[in-house]
Amino acid sequence: MLILNKLSVSYPELSVINALCLQLEPGTICVLTGANGCGKSTLLSAISGVIPEHITATVSGEIQYQGTDLRKVALNEKFHYLWHAGSDADSQFFFPTCEAELAFALENKGIAPQEIKDRISNAAAYFGLSDYLQSSPLSLSGGQKRLLLCAIGKALNPSLYLLDEPASGLSGNSLILLCNWLNELKEQGAIMLIAEHNPQLIAMADRVINLS
pLDDT of 63-84, one tens digit each?
999 999 999 999 999 999 999 9
The mean pLDDT value for 118-136 works out to 98
Whether the Cβ atoms of residue 160 and residue 79 lie closer than 8 Å to each other:
no
What string of DSSP letters covers 25-64? -TTEEEEEE-STTSSHHHHHHHHHTHHHHTS--EEEEEEE
Q: In the chain, where are the structural domains located?
A: 26-48+75-210
Residue-level pLDDT at 20 = 96
pLDDT tens column, 21-53: 999 999 999 999 999 889 999 999 999 999 999
pTM for this prediction: 0.95
- For residue 203, pLDDT beyond 90: yes
The mean pLDDT value for 107-124 works out to 96
Tell me 132's DSSP state.
G
Per-residue CA distances from 129 to 105, 116, 158, 168 (Å): 18, 16, 21, 17
State the pLDDT confidence band at 212, using cuts at 50, 70 and 90: confident
pLDDT tens column, 81-108: 999 999 999 999 999 999 999 999 999 9
Spatial distance between the Cα atoms of 50 and 39, rounded to a whole number of angstroms: 14
- For residue 171, pLDDT beyond 90: no
Q: Is the dihedral of CA 146, 147, 152, 156 positive or negative?
A: positive
Tell me which CATH homologous superfamily contains domain 26-48+75-210: P-loop containing nucleotide triphosphate hydrolases (3.40.50.300)
Spatial distance between the Cα atoms of 40 and 171, rounded to a whole number of angstroms: 22
- For residue 187, pLDDT beyond 90: yes
128: left (phi over 0), alpha (psi -120 to 50) or beta: left
Whether the Cβ atoms of residue 194 and residue 183 lie closer than 8 Å to each other:
no
Secondary structure of 66-114 as H, E, C letters:
CCEEHHHCCHHHHHHCEEEECCCHHHHCCCCCHHHHHHHHHHHCCCCHH
- For residue 13, pLDDT beyond 90: no
Complete edge-to-edge strand list for the sheet that includes strand 207-210: 82-85, 160-164, 191-195, 28-33, 207-210
Residue-level pLDDT at 48 = 97
Spatial distance between the Cα atoms of 123 and 125, rounded to a whole number of angstroms: 5
Q: By three-state DSSP, how is residue 172 classified?
A: coil
Give, in degrees to the nearest 5, the angle at Cα 33 between 30 and 38: 125
Question: In the chain, how long is the greatest CA-to-CA distance?
Answer: 49
Complete edge-to-edge strand list for the sheet that includes strand 58-65: 14-24, 2-11, 58-65, 68-69
